[in-house]
């Protein structure tokens, strides 16, 4: 969670993930204050409280209401109420959020297969969590515009243990505390930007802070599910401000699929790359990408696929969860490499 700022430009939160139990039946429970790491259910909502050190508290109230306060002694803290599993539902929330320093309020969750950590950021303090990240586009929904970003965590804690995974972000340009979050619109915009989600794990309206102080008083509830046939309130605008360091979309596999290569980060002696795989006009049951690496470049670790080697001409085939694609559907795989990744080429064929 927030402490990841130490090594990444985006401001993700690194609360130790927990396994959560299902929601209990609806019944009135007394207010409950927690000051140590715990998860569970309260008045029909899943809750999580995590802090790195002692300096915060959370009081769970009726329904989806909670209040929280923290100081710098907490170091890192994230608390909230929500659901397990999460979904593309509509979320309503209201309340207050007071931040002194580095903190933000967001809808936060995880998926598996692929493993994704995601944020819909409603407001933040002195640090914009999009600082230094590549903007992929934007989505206009619920009376505001959110910028879309993707970052990556390599060999970091997650809900399945230490892993390499992507983080998806929608960061609201017009800060607010209170309103409706049409989650389906963000998920659709991410997919149109090539960001694929998996099976949903938990999802909370989270109060988060890093080496800061503040307080919040939040009530969250589930709204009506939006129609999937039309989304007139939503528009997705591709970003034109950033050009990937290296990209190519070659003809491949008789039109069964295409592949696009891009560098997501690059440094002296290493790089991280992403490859989007998009089905053609017909569904496919599997894919394989021919990846031609520049001289001296090697793959150190690869995710969301299986590679035949680590240098030169490499074939990457789909993982067991991202091979079947509908017409024009996009998935991706990525890898961390040594050397320089500039100039790599890719082509795609059905498998």
Catalytic residue numbers, as ranges: 117, 208
Distance from C-alpha of 10 to C-alpha of 34, rounded to nearest angstrom? 29
Where do the DSSP E strands lie in 31-114?
Answer: 32-34, 38-42, 45-51, 56-60, 65-70, 76-83, 90-112
Query: Residue 136, SS3?
Result: strand
The Cα 75–Cα 56 span in angstroms is 9
- Overall size of the chain counted in residues: 351
Round to whole Å and give the CA distance between 26 and 136: 41
Contact 191/330 with Cβ under 8 angstroms? yes
- DSSP lists the bridge partners of residue 236 as 139
CB atoms within 10 A of CB 225: 13
Residue 296 is encoded by which pair of tokens?
Answer: 């001296």
H/E stretch holding 206 reads strand 199-222
């Amino acid at each position: 969670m927030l402490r990841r700022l130490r090594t990444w430009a985006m401001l993700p939160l690194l609360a130790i993930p927990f396994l959560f139990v299902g929601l209990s039946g609806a019944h009135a429970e007394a207010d409950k204050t927690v000051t140590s790491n715990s998860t569970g259910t309260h008045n029909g909502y899943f809750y999580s409280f995590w802090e790195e050190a002692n300096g915060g508290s959370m009081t769970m109230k009726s329904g989806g209401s909670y209040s929280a306060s923290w100081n710098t002694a907490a170091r890192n803290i994230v608390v909230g109420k929500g659901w397990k599993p999460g979904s593309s539902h509509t979320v309503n929330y209201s309340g207050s959020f007071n931040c002194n320093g580095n903190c933000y309020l967001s809808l936060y969750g995880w998926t598996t297969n692929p493993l994704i950590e995601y944020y819909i950021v409603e407001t933040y303090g002195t640090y914009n969590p999009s600082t230094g990240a590549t903007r992929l586009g934007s989505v206009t929904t619920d009376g505001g515009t959110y910028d879309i970003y993707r970052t990556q965590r390599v060999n970091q804690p997650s809900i399945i243990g230490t892993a390499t995974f992507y983080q998806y972000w929608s960061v609201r340009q017009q800060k607010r505390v209170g309103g409706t979050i049409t989650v389906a619109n963000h998920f659709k915009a991410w997919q149109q930007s090539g960001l694929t989600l998996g099976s949903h794990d938990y999802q909370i309206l989270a109060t988060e802070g890093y080496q800061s102080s503040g307080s919040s008083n939040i009530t969250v509830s589930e709204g009506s599910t939006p129609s999937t046939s039309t989304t007139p309130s939503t528009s997705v605008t591709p970003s034109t401000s950033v050009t990937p360091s290296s990209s190519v979309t070659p003809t491949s596999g008789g039109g069964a699929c295409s592949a696009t290569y891009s560098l997501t980060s690059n440094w002296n002696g290493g790089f991280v790359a992403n490859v989007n795989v998009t089905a053609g006009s017909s569904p496919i049951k599997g894919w394989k990408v021919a990846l031609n690496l520049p001289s001296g470049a090697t793959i150190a670790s690869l995710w969301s696929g299986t590679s035949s080697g680590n240098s030169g001409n490499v074939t990457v085939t789909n993982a067991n969860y991202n091979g079947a694609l509908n017409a024009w559907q996009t998935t991706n795989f990525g890898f961390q490499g040594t050397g320089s990744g500039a100039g790599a080429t890719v082509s795609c064929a059905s498998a």
